[in-house]
Chains A and B, each alone.
Chain A
Amino acid sequence: MIKYLIEKEFKQIFRNRFLPRLILGFPCITLLLMPWAANFEVKNINISIVDNDHSSCSRRLADKIVSSGYFKLIDIAENYAAALENIELDSSDVILEIPDNFESDLTVTDKGASLMISSNAVNGTKGALSASYLAGIIRDFSAELRRENPSPQSAFIPVINIIPQYRFNPNLDYKIFMVPALMVMLLTMLCGFLPALNIVGEKEAGTMEQINVTPVKKHIFILAKLIPYWVIGFFILTLGFGIAFFVYSLMPAGSFLTIYVFSSIYVLIVSGFGLVISNYSKTMQQGMFVMYFFILILILISGMFTPVNSMPWWAKIITVLNPLKYFIEVMRSVYLMGSGFTDLFIQFIALCVFAVIFNVWAVLSYSKKS
C-alpha cells in the first residue's frame, strides 16, 4: 500500500511543471551564487584623500592604499569639506586627511604626524571595517618608513609584530563558512516546506477528504508524503557535497557518516515542524506564510550570518530553542573542524529532543483536527 502511495507522490512531483526544477535549481543557485554574494568581506571601499601636504611621502601613502586592493581612490579633494560632500553624495565611503608638513614631520623633524580617518558609518560594519583596514595600511606604512630612516630614538622603541593564525579557515574565506550553513537551509526548505505545503494542498483540493473515507491509515498517508521528500533531501545533500568539493574544494574534515546521521535527525525535526503547521493551516497561502514567518526568524537567529554570541541576551535565549542553530553548528564543526560524535554530544541531544517534541506535537494536533 505505502509503496503505491509513494509511487503516486513521485508521479505527482515529476509531473508538476515547476517542482522538479525548483528541487534541482534551488540548491544549485543557493550553493553556487549565494556564497559569493552573501559575503561579509568588505571590498571596493571608495576613498577620498585630502592631501594638504602634496609631498612624495603623502603620494606614496596614497599609492599604497590603492594598491592594497580594498580601496578605490575616488578623488584627491581640495579640502576636507569637498571630501565630505562626496560622502554625503554617497560616492565615497571614507576620507583620509593628510595634514600640512606630513613628510617633514615624519622624516626631518621626527616628531611624528597625525592623520585623520573619517568613515561613513551608515552601514556600521562597513564603516568600522574600512577604518580599521585603512589604519592597518597606515601602520604598515609607518613601519616601512621607520625601516628606511632608522632614527636614533626609534631604534630603541620595541615593536610588537602581530601575526594572526586563523585556525580551520586559514584564509578567512567567508564562502567556506557559508557553504555548510547553506546546506542546512536547503534541507530545511526541501524537507520542511515542501511536504507541509503538499499536505495543505491536498486539503485545499479536497483530495484529503476523499482519502479520509478510504481505509488508508493516516500515518501511512503522512509517511507516504514525507518519504519522497526525505529521499529528495538526501539527494540534495549529496549534491551539495559535490558542489562544495568541485566548486569550493571543500571536503568535510570530519566524516560523511556524522553529517548523514545528524541530517536524518534534522530532517525529522523539520518535517515534524512542517506537519504541525500543515495541521493548523487550511489553505496553501496560510501555510506558506506561517512557514515563511518561522523560517525567516529561525534563519536570522541561527548564527548563519551573525554570530550568536554577539546577540542580546533575549535573542540568545531564542537561539537555544532554534534547531537550525544546532544543526548549523554541527555542519560547520564537522566540515571545518572535523568534529566527531563525542564533540557534538550536546547538539545531538538537543536535536533529538526537538525531533521528539515536533513529531509528538504533529501527531497530537493531527488527531485533534479530525
Chain B
Amino acid sequence: MSIAMITAENIVKNYGSVKALCDVSFEVLKGEIFGIIGPDGSGKTTLIRILTTLLLADSGSASVDNMEIVSDYKKIRSRIGYMPGRFSLYQDLSVEENLEFFATVFNTTIKENYYLIKDIYSQLEPFKKRKAGELSGGMKQKLALSCALIHKPSVLFLDEPTTGVDPVSRKEFWVMLRRLKEQGISILVSTPYMDEAGLCDRIALMKDGKFLRIDTPDNIIDQFDDTLWAASSSRMYALLNDIREQEEVLSCFAFGDAHHVTVPKGTLNLETLEENMRAKGHSDISIKPVRAGIEDCFMALTGRGSGDAGKTDRGNADREMKSCRKDPV
C-alpha cells in the first residue's frame, strides 16, 4: 500500500537572492491526496514546477513514480499529469480539439482512457464544439483536468486548481479528485485555501519556502495545544487591538465574523479577558472557546518563535491568506 510515488529530498531553489525553497523534503504515497497549503509566494508553484521537470532545483533530489526528475525527465513527462495554475490550453481550439490534441501528443486516444475522465468530460460534452476560450471558469478547469488525465497519469500535479473558481465548482472539483484517488492516482495539490486542507489525506503547511509541518489534517489540529477563543463585540476593530495588547495573548486575528484569540493553556481565563474588555469600554462582548482549524494552526506555526513580533507577523500572514469563510466547502 504505502509505495512512495513522489519523494523529494532537501530541495533548494533560489531566484537570485530570494530563497524560493529551502531544504524541502517529503513523500507522497500511492493513491494519496497530498495538499500543499500556503499563502501566495510561499514556493508552492516552484516546488510543483521542479517536480514536473519544468525547472531545475539548485540542489537536492527527487523522484516521481520511481524515476529521477533530472535524468529520467523524459519518461516522467509521459507518466504525470500537470494542471498549471493558469488556464493554459489552446483558447482558439474547441473543447474536443484540445482533448484530442493532448491525447495525440501523449500517443494515446480519447477512447482508450475515456473511462477515467467520463465523469468530468460528460459535463462538457454538450459544449464540445465551443472554443476553450469561451468556456466559463469552472468548465475551463474541468477541461484542463480532463486534458491532464487523458493519458492516464500515475501522478497528478494540480497547482492551485480552485483559485478563482466559484464555491459550487470547487466542491465538485474535490469530489472529482476523491474519485481519481480511488483509481489509484496519487495527487499533489497546492492551494491557498485553508478550508480545502481538510479534504486532503495529508497536508504540508508551507511558508517562505519551508514546510512548517507535514501530517494529516486531524493530527495537525490535534497538536494545537493552546487555548483558542472566538471573540466579538460591538466595536470589532478596537477589540482586535485591545486584545492584542493583553500580555498573555499569543495572537489575535480576524476570522470571519469573530476574532480568533490564542493564549497558552492556563495563563488567562475567559472571564478575565471579558472583564478586561468591558473595562476598555466594549459592549455586547461574546467570548467562546472554539475548536482550532487548519488556519489557526497555520497562524500558530508561522508566529511561533518570533516572540512579541509574532503578534504583528500573524496579522500579516492573515492578510496574505485567501480566507474563504463565506463559502466553506
Asked if A8 contacts B52 (CB within 8 A), the reply is: no
Asked if B88 contacts A206 (CB within 8 A), the reply is: yes
Is B286's CB within 8 Å of the partner chain A?
A: no
Which of B77, B93, B102 is A12 in contact with, Cβ under 8 Å?
B93
Given known pairs A213-B80, A214-B106, the reply for A207 and B74 (CB within 8 Å) is no
Q: How far is the CB of A274 from chain B (nearest CB, A)?
A: 21
Segment 1-56 of A: residues with Cβ below 8 Å from B: 1, 4-5, 8, 11-12, 15-16
Asked if A213 contacts B52 (CB within 8 A), the reply is: yes
Is A209's CB within 8 Å of the partner chain B?
A: yes
Is A249's CB within 8 Å of the partner chain B?
A: no
Query: Roughly how many angstroms separate A215 CA and B53 CA in the complex, as a whole number?
Result: 12
Chain A, residue nearest B56 (CB): A370
Is A205's CB within 8 Å of the partner chain B?
A: yes
What number of A-B contacts does a CB cutoff of 8 Å give? Answer: 59
Q: How far is the CB of A3 from chain B (nearest CB, A)?
A: 10
Complex interface bits, B41-80 against A, C-beta within 8 A gives 1, otherwise 0: 0000000000011100000000000000000001001101
Q: How far is the CB of A362 from chain B (nearest CB, A)?
A: 20
Tell me which of B86, B97, B102, B105 has the highest count of chain A C-beta atoms within 10 A of its own C-beta: B105
Asked if A215 contacts B107 (CB within 8 A), the reply is: yes
Asked if A215 contacts B90 (CB within 8 A), the reply is: no
Given known pairs A213-B77, A215-B78, the reply for A206 and B106 (CB within 8 Å) is no
Is B101's CB within 8 Å of the partner chain A?
A: yes
Query: Roughly how many angstroms separate A248 CA and B91 CA in the complex, as a whole number?
Result: 43
Q: How far is the CB of B129 from chain A (nearest CB, A)?
A: 13
Complex contacts, B97 vs chain A, CB 8 Å: 8, 11
Segment 198-235 of A: residues with Cβ below 8 Å from B: 205-207, 209-216
Query: Roughly how many angstroms separate A215 CA and B52 CA in the complex, as a whole number?
Result: 12
B→A interface (CB under 8 Å): 52-54, 74, 77-78, 80, 82, 84, 86-93, 97, 101-102, 104-107, 147
Known A4-B104, A205-B90, A207-B89; further 7 A-B contacts with Cβ < 8 A: A1-B105, A1-B107, A4-B105, A8-B90, A210-B89, A213-B54, A215-B74
Nearest 10 CB-CB pairings of A with B: A206-B88, A213-B82, A215-B78, A214-B105, A210-B88, A206-B86, A4-B104, A207-B88, A215-B77, A15-B92
A→B interface (CB under 8 Å): 1, 4-5, 8, 11-12, 15-16, 205-207, 209-216, 370
30 residue pairs from A and B, CB less than 8 Å apart: A4-B104, A5-B105, A8-B101, A11-B93, A12-B90, A12-B92, A12-B93, A15-B92, A205-B88, A205-B91, A206-B84, A209-B54, A209-B84, A210-B82, A210-B84, A210-B89, A210-B147, A212-B54, A213-B52, A213-B80, A213-B82, A214-B77, A214-B105, A214-B106, A215-B74, A215-B77, A215-B106, A215-B107, A216-B105, A370-B54
